[in-house]
Amino acid sequence: MALPMFQPETYAATRQPLDRAAPLPHWCYHAPEWYAREVETIFRKEWLCVGRAEQVPRPGDFYTIRLVGEPLLVVRDTAMRVNVLSAVCRHRGAVIAEPVRQAHCEKFVCPYHSWTYGLDGTLLEIPGFPPPMQGVQNFDMAEFGLRRLRSDSWAGFVFVTFDPDAPALAEWLGELPDFLANYRVDEMRFTHRDIYDVECNWKVWLENAFENYHAPTIHQKHMTPGKPQNWTFESGDTFEAMYSQRSIVAFSGLRPLPGLTDKQASGLYHVWLRPSLQIILTSSYMKYRQYLPEGPEKLRLIENWSFPSGTIATAEFQETVGPAYYDKYSEVIREDLTIAPNVQRGMRSGAYRPGRYSLEEHITHKIANYVIDRVVGREGGRRVLGEAAE
């Protein structure tokens, strides 16, 4: 490679202000060594959203999720706490629960030798006759519970971090809770999710999701010719947001949320919370997308829906409105599915030389700069997101 991959100067063109900047080089989207550094400096450092607490309403409810290769269990225990546990057995490392969207159990039994764990990860029992661990020296069952990840929640979202030194979640969220306060996100209830496994780097889809420039081409059939969407951009200390009154996902015949400003009631926001959570707030419901990298060229995208409980309670919602929403917007996703693997092939070819951003790609540029900040550092570059220098 002509340029050193981890030197800040290599990314000088992306560091420029938007109207002079160039996108990231191709290797940031497919090189295993770049991806490994992203995992280390981004996904093992930040807080990551694993879902919403109401996805596991009763003790014993759980689901599985994989974060940068690590299989996890999100489970509610008998004390009503939501635990995020490593699903890797403490005996010889089998994964103790098959991938499952939603299930219920009283305890977790490893499929290999049946070590049995409680809902909080405690090792409860090692079944067998004669007792399999009899005679094993210095073995204390209390030391062999499932590893519990550091987790916390905000407004119903459950977050985890692999970093024991990460700041408290409330501090890490910065101004975001205030920015979204009127939407009463804590009162939203999860109703549905779709999971997509896509052959692309996580940034290919994330960057796409935060620019509307592609919409007249990729989402042509949802657009009204001659009526541009006129997105505007807002920033907080920890997030970026874009607002429009004409988004293709804004359609809503549902009752608006009480307490919104006129602006909030007449449009919608897409919010990017680094590294990879997208929250979409309309005047009557919320969507959120989790971007879960599975490798340099593999993405698991989880598209989630939440509505106010008053809305969900109506028969009309259950029978027609809810399914109509899921259906309509999975169509939008399917359209994006046509382009993301295409872009990935272009990046993987190595032939790409960075072009230029349009001014509509404001947040795409912010995402690229955030990634450079984390992966190669900030020396010689301007800061984004207003964080203090490390």
CA distance linking residue 342 with residue 346, whole number of Å: 7
Residue 218 CB, shortest distance to Fe ion, in Å, is 5
Within positions 113 to 142, which residues make up the interface with ligand FES, using CB under 6 A? 113-115
Which of 42, 53, 110, 371 lies at the binding interface for ligand FES (CB under 6 A)?
Answer: 110
CA distance linking residue 279 with residue 267, whole number of Å: 14
- Contact present, 335 and 219 (Cβ < 8 Å): yes
Residue number with the smallest Cβ distance to Fe ion? 336
Residue 320 CB, shortest distance to ligand FES, in Å, is 46
Minimum CB distance to ligand FES smaller for 114 or for 182: 114
Residue 125 CB, shortest distance to ligand FES, in Å, is 11
Minimum CB distance to ligand FES smaller for 94 or for 359: 94
Which of 19, 98, 101, 112 lies at the binding interface for ligand FES (CB under 6 A)?
Answer: 112
Minimum CB distance to ligand FES smaller for 92 or for 345: 92
- Contact present, 91 and 128 (Cβ < 8 Å): no
Residue 14 CB, shortest distance to Fe ion, in Å, is 22
Q: Which two tokens stand for residue 163?
A: 């970093």
Scanning 60-68, 104-112, 144-152, 330-338 for contacts with Fe ion by CB under 5 A, the matching segment is 330-338
Residue 82 binds which one of ligand FES, Fe ion, none, with CB within 5 to 8 A depending on kind? none
**Does 92 engage in binding with ligand FES (CB under 6 A)?**
yes
Residue 39 gets which letter from DSSP? I
HSE at residue 159, side-chain half, CA atoms within 13 A, is 24
Task: Give the CA-trace dihedral at 121, 127, 130, 132, to 10 degrees.
Answer: -40
CA proximity to 297, closest of 33, 39, 30 = 30
Helix (H, G, I), strand (E, B) or coil at 364: helix
Minimum CB distance to Fe ion smaller for 265 or for 332: 332
Residue 219 CB, shortest distance to Fe ion, in Å, is 6
Minimum CB distance to Fe ion smaller for 144 or for 196: 196
Q: Which residues contact 288 (CB under 8 A, 6 or more apart)?
A: 49, 157, 277, 278, 279, 280, 304, 306
Which of 46, 61, 77, 336 lies at the binding interface for Fe ion (CB under 5 A)?
Answer: 336
Minimum CB distance to Fe ion smaller for 88 or for 332: 332
Residue 190 binds which one of Fe ion, ligand FES, none, with CB within 5 to 8 A depending on kind? none
CA distance linking residue 324 with residue 340, whole number of Å: 25
Minimum CB distance to Fe ion smaller for 312 or for 332: 332
CA proximity to 106, closest of 137, 136, 75 = 75
- Contact present, 160 and 151 (Cβ < 8 Å): yes
Residue 116 binds which one of ligand FES, Fe ion, none, with CB within 5 to 8 A depending on kind? none
CA proximity to 177, closest of 163, 162, 157 = 157
Scanning 107-115, 138-146, 262-270, 320-328 for contacts with ligand FES by CB under 6 A, the matching segment is 107-115
What are the residues binding ligand FES (CB under 6 A)? 89, 91-94, 110, 112-115
